Amino acid sequence: MTPLHLSISGRDQARLRAAAAIAALTALPVLSLAALPGAAHAAALRSPALYAPRHDRQPQTVNVAMSNSGFTLPAQVNAGFVTFATTTADPTGHALQGFRLNAGVTQAKALQDLKQATSTTPSVSAAGITAATKDITAVGGATVDPATPVQVTIPLTAGTYYFLDFNQLFTPGHQVTLQTMQVTGAFDSDTPAHDQEIVQTTVNGRPRFTAPSTLNTAGTFLISNQADEIHEAVFQRVNPGVTDTAVQTFFNAVGQNQKPTGNPFAEQGMRGAGGISPGRTELLHFSPPAGSYSLECFVPDDKTGVPHAFLGMHQVVALSAVNGPVGAGRGGGVRAGDTRELALGAGLTAAAALLGGLALLRRRAAAKA
């Protein structure tokens, strides 16, 4: 089989995800964010329904302007729900991700895990994400592009948290900068109101989304990780009429190191919510242009190192801003055991070698082509 040939330059190449074949077809870079793993969170934060829905104590807001030069955060915030209002002017976008160290883990060990998880060797990537799952609690973040500011609201209890621009992990020779933020005091805010829910789950051993087929971007989405691996929730616009079958067919071809017969994607950029550990939640509010999008997770599988999207964790949804409530009809996604999924075995292993990495996995295809 002839590998895909991409034309991607230094810094842009470092920002690509597993579906970099899209860039192969368009010769443009693709951005998205990695998802990080972590330990279970306090039970009260796992289920926002446990809070009385008063919604009178609003989340604190932290404005985060991300650039190639970095970003800044306040040194301290109060415990509670904190909204990270994230923007960027850089065409290739940025990826804010927060985490907390689990007991006995150092910053150096955490960064070692993450760098290993972004390896272009799938077995190394799987080992890295497995280690990170034990060492880090991922609290969420935002993938942002210039056209779409992203607000992600995260429940934070007292403690020390670290935030980074995940793209730095893929810039050769670049030292990763961690921003430290202390969270102090008792948890003092009510669960923010939300309009619809996106569930990250597992069906018959395969990672899946369960989400409404139409999402109202005039509202806020609760993202809930009910699976046993780390997941993200990023959106990439697809061409009119594209189905989950077409998206999976594209991933199948790339996974088998074949040139796709068509490109379901209408753009290279992505935006959405960063990685959260099992049992955690985050809230997403953003206003991308109306249209059809593929909701995707590119976190690598902890056994194979293959991105979850290639295993069927994608769902075509309609995004639009409308007045009034939106019906909660469930969308499709690839069914567990669907024969249209990636064929496991040698073909998938070769795909993993081509694709790899932690959520910015498109980079692997560019590096190996």
Cβ atoms of 279 and 208 within 8 Å: the answer is: no
Which pLDDT score is estimated for 325?
A: 56
Distance CA 190, CA 280 (A): 16
| Cα–Cα distance measured from residue 216 to residue 219, given in angstroms and rounded to the nearest whole number | 6
What's the pLDDT score for residue 357?
33
**Cα angle: 322, vertex 273, 310; to 5 degrees:** 105
Instruction: Extract the residue ranges of the chain whose pLDDT is less than 70.
Output: 1-56, 172, 324-369
What is the reported pLDDT for 324?
A: 62
Asked if 102 and 342 count as a contact pair (C-beta separation under 8 A), the reply is: no
Whole-number pLDDT of residue 323: 73
Q: What is the pLDDT of residue 56?
A: 54
In one-letter notation, the amino acid at residue 186 is A
